[in-house]
């Protein structure tokens, strides 16, 4: 907000009050004006001047918010925030107002961050006051995701979550799950041979099956597995319920109104989603507990946490914490990793030259006689760069999840009010042309070319969140995407599908809106590079049934 004006030459309201046919000290009969010399007029003038002075002081002393688009009374900028792909509008605003933009929506202060510097300064360096979550009544309270890792407020329980996840799936702990990831990816290739046209369903199956295996030691059935369906259903409602725009998030009191009233359909939907969320959290946890009791539990996140650091188990009150950590890990990993994998298939369809270079690198290492394994990663720099570009090109969470400011803060001379919602525009960070030249192009070589500091940096520093809210499963997610990319390109060619007339169909880069953004359905043609891969993939030495 600018300085409060000391003169009002263009303010029509003041002109109407102070002037009629001339200045106030010119008597105007037949009106409500009084000569300035009269006691009444003098008193009115003193009161008016005092009021103006008080208002001036108020405006002058009010801390200045970051710049942003002009809103309208009461609603603020609420009508300017689109329901579809809001990150694109936020990105456009950053070009006009800068890397820190202030919005108001029905009185709620919203701060949009669009530079690595601002994100580092606030969400990382000042994480103690920027790591909380805003109240999302629909998702956290009505549907019941409030105890999940994404929805949990910043406090003691959150710190316990992070302690467990750091031990089990941190950079070192994640390495113990690589063999299971390799086996799961080989199973995916087998399904791809059988019905390549169903690649999207196969991607979703392998991701859900892998997460269930890693989290609970559960082996998913090849077809129509109940828990796989539970995962997919639960994560779909998580993404929808956490998407901004639910009226109950803006006016929480309406949650107590009868569900049959017009406009209260969200209550009925919340009941359905709540039952699905409960099933997703509780059912697989009961499975792993029963396996531990019978002595048949496989190596998994949940089994390791329930056994405790010293193997003596955990106290009963810790089981609830472990149950929600496990649900958060496998729930959060399923939809997000599937989005990255589907982006890979889309990119290979649109960029055949990238695919060719990747396959040449793999063949030079393996001789076309085996599938690459994770131990090959250091010797496949182009594949590594390709995976980085998948994380950047269309980030799975374009806006991440919102942060909440626990106490008033000041940044660059601006006020950040307590209770503000802070959103990092991850999509903009990864499409800033000054940081990533030609950002809309899928170009793995950008990470292999020499560049000054700050140019073409590893996008994982933004794609997986920030500071104390960074995704704890990022190492598992990254390694599983790498394996799917490397093993798929070793054995398959991916190209454009053709229509009935034999003409290639070029898919569009259309992505869904939501907390998790994934490619909308598209077609591509997937074929084995040679017949020998059918035998190699099926061979026991590269494939072990999950």
Binding residues for heme: 471
> Where do the H-state alpha helices sit in 394-431?
426-429
**CA-wise closest residue to 114 among 132, 126, 130, 102:** 102
The CA distance from 20 to 8, in Å, is 15
DSSP 2-43: -PPPS--TT-HHHHHHH-SSS-TTS--TTSS---TTSHHHHH
Binding site: which residues? 471
Cβ contact 465:370 at 8 Å: no
- Which residues, 6 or more positions from 414, have their beta carbon under 8 angstroms from its beta carbon? 63, 64, 65, 66, 100, 102
Cβ contact 192:489 at 8 Å: no
Other CB atoms within 10 A of residue 235 CB: 25
Three-state secondary-structure class, residue 466: coil
> Where do the H-state alpha helices sit in 247-300?
247-250, 265-294
The CA distance from 156 to 74, in Å, is 37
Beta bridge partners of 424: 113
Q: Write down the number of H helices and E strands in the chain.
A: 19, 8
Cβ contact 412:461 at 8 Å: no
The CA distance from 211 to 193, in Å, is 22
> Where do the H-state alpha helices sit in 135-177?
156-169
Give exposure, 37-57, as e/b (b: 16+ Cβ within 10 Å): eeeebeeeeeeeeeeeeeeee
């Amino acid at each position: 907000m600018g300085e409060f004006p000391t003169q009002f030459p263009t303010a029509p309201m003041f002109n109407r009050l102070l002037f009629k046919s001339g200045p106030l000290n010119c008597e105007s009969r037949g009106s409500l004006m009084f000569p300035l010399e009269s006691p009444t007029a003098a008193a009115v003038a003193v009161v008016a001047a005092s009021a103006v002075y008080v208002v001036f002081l108020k405006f002058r002393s009010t801390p200045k918010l970051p710049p942003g688009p002009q809103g309208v009374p009461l609603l603020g900028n609420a009508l300017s925030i689109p329901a579809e792909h809001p990150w694109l509008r936020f990105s456009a605003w950053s070009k006009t107002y800068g890397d820190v933009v202030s919005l108001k929506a029905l009185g709620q202060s919203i701060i949009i961050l669009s530079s690595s510097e601002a994100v580092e300064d606030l969400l990382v360096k000042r994480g103690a006051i920027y790591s909380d979550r805003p109240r999302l009544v629909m998702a956290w309270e009505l549907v019941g995701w409030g105890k999940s890792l994404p929805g949990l407020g910043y406090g003691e329980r959150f710190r316990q979550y992070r302690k467990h996840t750091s031990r089990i799936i941190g950079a070192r702990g994640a390495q113990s799950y690589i063999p299971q990831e390799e086996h799961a990816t080989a199973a995916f290739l087998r399904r791809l041979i059988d019905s390549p046209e169903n690649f999207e369903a196969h991607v979703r199956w392998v991701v859900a099956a892998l997460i269930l295996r890693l989290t609970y030691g559960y082996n998913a059935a090849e077809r129509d597995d109940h828990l796989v369906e539970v995962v997919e259903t639960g994560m779909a409602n998580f993404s929808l319920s956490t998407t901004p725009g639910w009226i109950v998030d803006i006016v929480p009191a309406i949650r107590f109104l009868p569900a049959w009233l017009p406009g209260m359909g969200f209550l009925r939907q919340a009941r359905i989603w709540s039952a699905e969320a409960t099933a997703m959290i509780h059912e697989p946890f009961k499975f792993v507990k029963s396996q531990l009791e019978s002595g048949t539990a496989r190596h998994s996140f949940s089994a390791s946490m329930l056994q405790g650091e010293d193997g003596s188990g955990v106290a009963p009150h810790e089981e609830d914490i472990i149950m929600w950590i496990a649900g958060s890990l496998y729930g959060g990993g399923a939809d997000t990793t599937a989005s990255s994998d589907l982006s890979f298939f889309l990119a290979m369809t649109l960029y055949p030259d990238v695919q060719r270079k990747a396959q040449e690198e793999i063949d030079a290492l393996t001789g076309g006689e085996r599938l690459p394994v994770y131990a090959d990663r250091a010797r496949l720099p182009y594949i590594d760069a390709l995976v980085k570009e998948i994380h950047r090109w269309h980030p799975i969470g374009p806006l991440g999840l919102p942060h909440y400011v626990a106490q008033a803060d000041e940044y660059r001379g601006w006020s950040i009010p307590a209770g503000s919602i802070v959103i990092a525009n991850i999509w903009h960070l990864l499409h800033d042309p000054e940081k990533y030249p030609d950002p809309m192009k899928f170009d793995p070589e950008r990470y292999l070319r020499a560049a000054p500091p700050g140019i073409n940096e590893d996008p994982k520093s933004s794609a997986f969140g920030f500071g104390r809210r960074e995704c704890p499963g990022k190492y598992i997610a990254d390694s599983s995407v790498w394996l799917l990319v490397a093993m798929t390109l070793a054995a398959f060619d991916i190209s454009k599908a053709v229509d009935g007339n034999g003409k290639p169909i070029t898919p569009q880069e259309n992505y869904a809106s939501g907390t998790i953004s994934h490619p909308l359905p598209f077609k591509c043609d997937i074929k084995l590079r040679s017949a020998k891969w059918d035998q190699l993939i099926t061979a026991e030495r590269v494939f072990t049934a999950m």
